[in-house]
A and B are shown apart, each in its own frame.
Chain A
Amino acid sequence: MITIRRSEDRGHGDRGWLQSHHTFTFGSYHDPNHMGFRALRVLNDDRIAPGKGFGPHAHRDMEIVTYVLEGALAHRDSMNERHTLGPNEIQTMSAGTGVVHSEFNASESEPVHLIQTWIEPAAEDLAPSYQQVAFAPDEKRGRLRLLAAPYGTEGDGITFIHQDARMFAAELGPTDRVEHRLTPGRHAWAQVVRGSVSLNGTALNEGDGAAVSDEQLLTIAGDGTGGGEVLLFDLA
């Protein structure tokens, strides 16, 4: 079963400097029918104006995974981590017992466009941690590139989360096609972050998402003239 969440049906927040689309309930946007999917609790599509951002604020007991599509995001936190995150990088912050951080557009002239997801951890009161990994753009072209996986997963160039969930990115040209097999009992969320793709034959455009349950095989293909980019979450 595949349930589509269309881009235009998402919640929208407009703070002037921030244009945000919420796939699930977040902040002042509340929809009891869209409180998350499995362990995926937040999926925000944010565009932050040059020089603007989120001042210091706290998180607790959440795995926060950030993926920049365009521009650069400056991160500072109470663990003394100070980084700039750009495209083809993945940032994973485990808030655990508590982290205070700020996120600002690192540029005074260009906007930053990012996807931020919050995944509920399998346990509370974990030690806070920060990870950031860069990868070559080719690694996601025409294939699913693993970005985040549970601790204990073998592999280089990935970040680790305290949850039985995996996050992939794939950039698919119009003729590209990838397959992902879901083991019995597992679920998936697909989020189109750029362009157009099809998921098991259903057309999805930028901003669209899809909840997948009781399916064995996901076939994602680039669609339209330019294809698209998709984030895929494999969830317990």
Chain B
Amino acid sequence: MSPLVVLVTFYSQSGAAETRALSAAVGAVQERALIRLRRLSDADSTQLLANGRAHAETLERMRKEYVVPTEADVRGADAIVVAPTSSCDPASLRWSEYFELLRSLGAAGALTRKVGAIVRNRDAASVQRFEQALHAAGLTIVAPADESPTPQAATAHGRRIAAEARSLKESGIRYQDSGLGQGTGERNRR
């Protein structure tokens, strides 16, 4: 079986969402998954740097260290994990392109037997909107055991995500080996 790949995508200006994304990634690594960490681009980076002097260094570093998620990243991943900032929305300018990509890949059947998950922040309503958007793209949602927005909870969630993704991937292989053909996509909540 090919290695399990967990794609963690975040957007952050201050580094807070980055910390949660890293924590979730560490959990996935603990569960022996390969990880891909991606950061959404700053459409208005010049303005951001001018406005956010307190975070300018962090912002510059993140812009240097990360690349944006690609279609190949999504296709190659077994788990699609999103770490949004509070009060953000999947339909926002920042995230809409990424979720449009997920929706189109989901409609094409490319997300079958993959899991989706949100790394918790303090905004439960925002988390719920993101979870619904992942679900709408056809991903099997993995909910955390601990809903708190802490790095420790994110790491535990990362472990759970990788474990669920592996389980789903292995079940898919068994399903295909049984000669019953392609799966139709699960829309349950794990």
In the complex, the answer to whether A56 meets B65 with C-beta atoms within 8 Å is yes
In the complex, the answer to whether B34 meets A58 with C-beta atoms within 8 Å is yes
* Main SS class of interface, A: strand
B residues less than 8 Å from A55 (CB atoms): 37, 65-67
- Sample of 17 A–B contacts (CB below 8 Å): A55-B37, A55-B66, A56-B22, A56-B25, A56-B65, A58-B26, A58-B29, A58-B34, A59-B29, A78-B25, A97-B30, A99-B29, A100-B22, A100-B25, A100-B26, A100-B29, A102-B65
A residues less than 8 Å from B22 (CB atoms): 56, 78, 100
In the complex, the answer to whether B35 meets A100 with C-beta atoms within 8 Å is yes
A153-188 vs B, CB cutoff 8 Å, 1 = contact: the mask equals: 000000000000000000000000000000000000
A residues less than 8 Å from B140 (CB atoms): none
Contact residues, B67-111 vs A (CB, 8 A): 67
Contact residues, A92-139 vs B (CB, 8 A): 97-100, 102, 104
Q: How far, in angstroms, from A67 to B163 measured CA to CA in the complex?
A: 36
Q: How far, in angstroms, from A99 to B66 measured CA to CA in the complex?
A: 17
Say yes or no: is B121 at the interface (Cβ < 8 Å to chain A): no
Additional pairs, 20, CB under 8 Å, beyond known A55-B37, A55-B66, A98-B30:
A51-B64, A55-B65, A55-B67, A56-B65, A57-B37, A58-B26, A58-B34, A59-B29, A60-B30, A78-B22, A78-B25, A78-B26, A97-B29, A98-B29, A99-B26, A99-B29, A100-B22, A100-B26, A100-B29, A104-B64
B residues less than 8 Å from A99 (CB atoms): 26, 29
Say yes or no: is B32 at the interface (Cβ < 8 Å to chain A): yes
Max chain B Cβ within 10 angstroms of own Cβ: one of A56, A78, A102 = A56
B interface residue numbers (CB < 8 A to A): 22-23, 25-27, 29-30, 32, 34-35, 37, 64-67
- The number of chain A residues touching the other chain, given as a range, is 10 to 19
- How far, in Å, is A33 (CB) from chain B's closest CB? 24
A residues less than 8 Å from B25 (CB atoms): 56, 58, 78, 100
- How far, in Å, is A84 (CB) from chain B's closest CB? 13
- How far, in Å, is A103 (CB) from chain B's closest CB? 10
Contact residues, A53-70 vs B (CB, 8 A): 53, 55-60
Q: How far, in angstroms, from A102 to B37 measured CA to CA in the complex?
A: 11
In the complex, the answer to whether A60 meets B35 with C-beta atoms within 8 Å is no
Q: How far, in angstroms, from A100 to B34 measured CA to CA in the complex?
A: 11
Contact residues, A36-84 vs B (CB, 8 A): 51, 53, 55-60, 78
In the complex, the answer to whether A60 meets B65 with C-beta atoms within 8 Å is no
Max chain A Cβ within 10 angstroms of own Cβ: one of B25, B29, B67 = B29
Partner of A78, one of B23, B64, B65, B67: B23
B residues less than 8 Å from A98 (CB atoms): 26-27, 29-30
Query: What residue of chain B has the Cβ atom nearest to residue A103's Cβ?
Result: B65
Q: How far, in angstroms, from A60 to B29 measured CA to CA in the complex?
A: 7
B residues less than 8 Å from A59 (CB atoms): 29
Query: What residue of chain B has the Cβ atom nearest to residue A56's Cβ?
Result: B37
A residues less than 8 Å from B29 (CB atoms): 58-60, 97-100
B residues less than 8 Å from A102 (CB atoms): 65
Q: How far, in angstroms, from A55 to B30 measured CA to CA in the complex?
A: 19
Partner of B65, one of A58, A97, A104: A104
- How far, in Å, is A130 (CB) from chain B's closest CB? 14
Q: How far, in angstroms, from A41 to B27 measured CA to CA in the complex?
A: 25
Q: How far, in angstroms, from A53 to B66 measured CA to CA in the complex?
A: 11
A residues less than 8 Å from B66 (CB atoms): 55-56
- How far, in Å, is B90 (CB) from chain A's closest CB? 23
Assess A58 versus B35: contact at CB under 8 Å? Given A98-B29, A100-B26, A100-B29: yes
Q: How far, in angstroms, from A100 to B65 measured CA to CA in the complex?
A: 13
Query: What residue of chain B has the Cβ atom nearest to residue A55's Cβ?
Result: B65
B residues less than 8 Å from A60 (CB atoms): 29-30, 32
Query: What residue of chain B has the Cβ atom nearest to residue A54's Cβ?
Result: B65
